[in-house]
Structure 1
């Protein structure tokens, strides 16, 4: 964070005010960061973190074995920490005119930075839930597979660094049900989440559990039954104190599909690495002149155990 550049006519108090607005707005808009374990901050020049895949390996049996087969092989718990994950830098450039810079109330400036922080928080969630794919508009760079803010060519955000990743939606485990008429839909949603948690625990992945739903499934969870019981009230006891949340980054994952994810949080099998948290940095003064800043963060999603994630799919949505 650059707070002492002589080209920026702000006091320390004004810098602090800008950064406070950015942090508050980002924290309000974030979803994934509210339930995933956080790692960071890290040194500013950090470009990667160790992958740290948790592994379960059978210990070779002695020869000859002490008892005839079939016999249970002991299991060794290990971690693969030789591979790395490239950190991605998410940023939104914010150009500010000289007159706006000189405003002692900073009205326009704070509005711009607040909006940039909101877009950045949404971009962070898109990366966490949907992952990164090659950017079709900028060769050699990566982007989430969904629109964030205005579509290209009006995109206001940028991603540098990073690598192809699946996000929370990537692991291959899922629970699926058909999209039933409204009177039965809520029961099916509760069944899906209950089955997902049961399967996670059967695989040794324990709570608390976080459930994140798209718009369609979250509406089902918040619609009372004829007996005036919210499906949410039947879901929460399964979560062991974990949250039930909504994220529109899960909308329209596939045609006709309503989606969600269940994440087991016991033992921190999934981490959100925030090497550099959301902050404001000054870049340059252009010939116009415009003072160009950026709101940015450096982050990565580290999935140590994909078995801790279960997808929810309800198919046949009209």
Structure 2
């Protein structure tokens, strides 16, 4: 029986994968440990969704998991279809080394440099999949450049919908979609200012009240904005020193999630580490959202989680015809959105008001 190994990202014990391929590279365990640590640290630093989504580790051989989609049946009884599953998607970022670079890795640390960069791209791609879903991967106008330019590729599995697309489409006056008008700014910059706080407050009220939703959602909440909008929240309001970010952060600040989730839900935990507003605030800016969008997600009641079969890992693949050594950094995971009514999408107007 294989020993259990603790993953320092998910903080849970899992059965380790075999070191397939590593025995073919003339490196010591110290070199591989250095690469693993670099990949671990880069992923932990750059991931966004994994900072607030509960993590559910599963066996590294799994390709699907139960969807756990919550249904409301007759007499308002909650249920889950036991046959429904979600595919795990495996993403890959590759890099190569020359023979000389392999031989001199102990001194040059070229593999550490390239593995770190590959981990950075992989983390971006992971967030793109979690926020935008399959539309960001498949060819089309919504395909993200990181997939179109094949900086990161899909090895197996198929992504589902992303968090941004959780609100149902074509619903008149959808309470899960909040439009945000642009301010009439005297300069040429796009500004949303206090309109952003107003939109977040409306989204917060929609989730708290539960009107026209499957149920009310009492939080804790996570707020994610496109980086342009996120940066705009730090611009002081006219004639004051008050920033919208300070007011917004109070709606997504709590002590339960950061300090209590791991102890209350065994096998589910968030990556540790602080955020821009303190360890109890879940307010993030990222370029992995579609432009002019944001989302407010309630995590209370186990509405969504991140299933991880293989966390970011470096593996030797082969030598090509030119003698270069090919490596890959890869991860297998899935988003389980168990209650789509727990997400409100913010849609920010672009351009200048007429």
Q: TM-score range by the shorter chain?
A: 0.7 to 0.9
For structure 2, list consecutive stretches of 5 or more residues without a partner in the other structure: 1-17, 168-175, 211-215, 255-280
1:217 aligned to 2:215? no
Cα deviation for residue 4 of structure 1 reads: 6.8
Cα deviation for residue 232 of structure 1 reads: 1.0
Aligned to 1:79: 80
SS of corresponding position for 2:30 = helix
Aligned to 1:292: 326
Aligned to 1:67: none
> What's the C-alpha RMSD, in Å, of the aligned pairs?
2.1
Conserved 8 A contact 1:221-1:230: yes
1:162 to 151, 157, 168: 157
Aligned to 2:337: 303
Aligned to 2:248: 235
Which string of whole-angstrom CA distances, capped at 9 and with x for unpartnered residues, describes residues 237-273 of structure 1?
Answer: 2124241100112243xxxxx2100000112201111
1:190 to 197, 202, 206: 197
Aligned to 1:8: 25
Report which stretch shifted further, 305-314 or 235-244. 235-244
Q: 1:9 to 1:3 in 2, by over 3 A?
A: farther
Which string of whole-angstrom CA distances, capped at 9 and with x for unpartnered residues, describes residues 49-90 of structure 1?
Answer: 11111122232xxxxxxxxxxxxxxx2122223211111100
Conserved 8 A contact 1:30-1:121: yes
Aligned to 1:181: 184
Aligned to 1:111: 113
Conserved 8 A contact 1:130-1:144: no
**TM-score of the pair, normalised by structure 2:** 0.77
Aligned to 1:136: 139
- Between the aligned partners of 2:23 and 2:192, the Cα distance in structure 1 is 61
Cα deviation for residue 189 of structure 1 reads: 0.8
Conserved 8 A contact 1:129-1:167: yes
Conserved 8 A contact 1:57-1:76: yes
Cα deviation for residue 177 of structure 1 reads: 2.5
Which structure would you say has the larger Rg?
Answer: 1
Conserved 8 A contact 1:131-1:144: no
1:205 aligned to 2:239? no
Q: 1:2 to 1:94 in 2, by over 3 A?
A: farther
Conserved 8 A contact 1:53-1:81: no
SS of corresponding position for 2:107 = coil
- Between the aligned partners of 2:179 and 2:333, the Cα distance in structure 1 is 31
- Between the aligned partners of 1:233 and 1:166, the Cα distance in structure 2 is 31
SS of corresponding position for 1:234 = helix
Conserved 8 A contact 1:86-1:161: no
Q: 1:158 to 1:4 in 2, by over 3 A?
A: closer
Cα deviation for residue 28 of structure 1 reads: 1.1
Q: 1:216 to 1:2 in 2, by over 3 A?
A: same
Give the paired residue count: 289
Cα deviation for residue 220 of structure 1 reads: 2.0
SS of corresponding position for 2:62 = coil
Conserved 8 A contact 1:88-1:162: yes
Q: 1:5 to 1:232 in 2, by over 3 A?
A: closer
